[in-house]
Amino acid sequence: MVGYPVEGEILSRGTWTAGFALVAEKFQAGRIFLGGDAVHLFTPAGGLGYNTAVDDAVNLGWKLASVVKGNAPSFLLDTYELERRPVAVRNTGFARAFAESIGNYVPKPDIEADSDLGSDLRREAGAYLEAHGRSEFNIPGVTFGARYDHSPIILAEGEGQAPDLPEVYVPNAAPGGRAPHVWLNCQTSLFDRFGFEWTLLRLRPSSSPGTEFVTAARMAGMDLTVVDIKEDQLRAIYREPLVLIRPDQVIAWRGDGDGDAVQIIETVLGHIPAKR
Ligand SMILES: Cc1cc2nc3c(=O)[nH]c(=O)nc-3n(C[C@H](O)[C@H](O)[C@H](O)COP(=O)(O)OP(=O)(O)OC[C@H]3O[C@@H](n4cnc5c(N)ncnc54)[C@H](O)[C@@H]3O)c2cc1C
């Protein structure tokens, strides 16, 4: 590779087996929680192993903090596995498909021939591998599109969701998914306005001041930041004037009034399961 002989010293070597797509049956046993490669082992196609691991930690982190602070029941911790295991199955499935797309590719026998046929086969192989490369790494749908629609702490709206495609991410403010990002005044990220823990977005035109939420959140010991957004374009994306966003930036609820605030807060903290 270098072009002339070089001396090298092997310090250590180990076997690495490609091709795994393994998900543990359980992510929790009592007070023990597992995340990362310990519960989902990827072929690194698509580069998803660490992303998925970080999302596990973010999901579990705020739930542990809420329970340790005494603001939520231990049931909130059970939702870690309920929310994250399906995402692990989803993401390892995408990674497996990417790995098979390259691993099962067999070049045609004459690909190295010094002939017109060989030239055509090399061009054909190049086109296939280029398309593979694009499909493996242009995957905003995998990264941003995971959803917790069936979680008992999400007040889902029961709308059918768009197909879950690796290469397509359609921002969607329905409860259960990542809050859509928007640039405010072309320079401030909406995410920079979110509170450190919970956020209540108040979007114009708003019929409700959200006072019931603030009171209910305070009673529940929740750290809630109310964010008023003046930019009109957010209503087109978020649809409702009030949006409750979890510490992991997942939308827990949205609506146009806060009369049910106590029940909503109790649901998102795991005191009562969401009605289905
Ligand atoms: C070749 C390759 C390429 C990759 N490319 C990407 C990529 O592009 N993008 C991406 O997101 N992911 C990628 N990954 C996956 C990513 O590296 C893993 O998903 C990630 O490191 C998992 O983090 P973890 O903390 O769960 O586990 P680990 O990183 O494995 O950390 C576990 C740690 O625990 C230690 N440990 C084990 N047993 C004990 C013990 N008994 N006591 C104390 N310590 C112990 C280990 O030494 C290790 O340091 C790749 C993986 C490989 C192998």
The three-state DSSP-derived secondary structure of 138-154 is CCHHHHHCCCCCCCCCC
One DSSP character per residue, 176-225 reads TSBPPP-EETTTEEHHHHS-SSEEEEEESS-S---HHHHHHHHHTT--EE
- Give the pLDDT confidence score for residue 276 in this predicted structure: 67
Identify which of 257, 259, 243, 261 has the alpha carbon closest to the alpha carbon of residue 201: 243
For ligand 1, atom 20, the nearest C-alpha belongs to 50
Q: Which residues of the chain have pLDDT under 50?
A: none
- Give the pLDDT confidence score for residue 272 in this predicted structure: 87
Whether the CB of 51 sits within 6 Å of ligand 1: yes
- Give the pLDDT confidence score for residue 17 in this predicted structure: 76
Whether the CB of 166 sits within 6 Å of ligand 1: no
Region 158-276: CATH code? 3.40.30.120
Whether the CB of 37 sits within 6 Å of ligand 1: yes
Whether the CB of 137 sits within 6 Å of ligand 1: no
For ligand 1, atom 48, the nearest C-alpha belongs to 37
- Give the pLDDT confidence score for residue 110 in this predicted structure: 96
Phi–psi pair at 267, nearest 5 degrees: -70, -50
Residues 6+ apart with CB under 8 A from 194: 179, 225, 227, 245, 249
Residue among 15, 37, 39, 143 to mutate when testing ligand 1 (max atoms within 8 A of CB): 37
- Give the pLDDT confidence score for residue 83 in this predicted structure: 98
Q: How far apart are CA 148 and CA 176, in angstroms?
A: 5
Phi–psi pair at 189, nearest 5 degrees: -80, 135
Q: How far apart are the first and last CA of the chain?
A: 61
**Cβ pair 162, 170 in contact under 8 A:** yes
> How many Å lie between the centroid of ligand 1 and the Cα of residue 90?
19
pTM of the model: 0.91
Q: How far apart are CA 81 and CA 232, in angstroms?
A: 37
For 60-77, b/e burial (b = at least 16 CB within 10 A) is: bebbbebbeeebbeebbb
Element (DSSP H or E) covering residue 78: helix 75-103
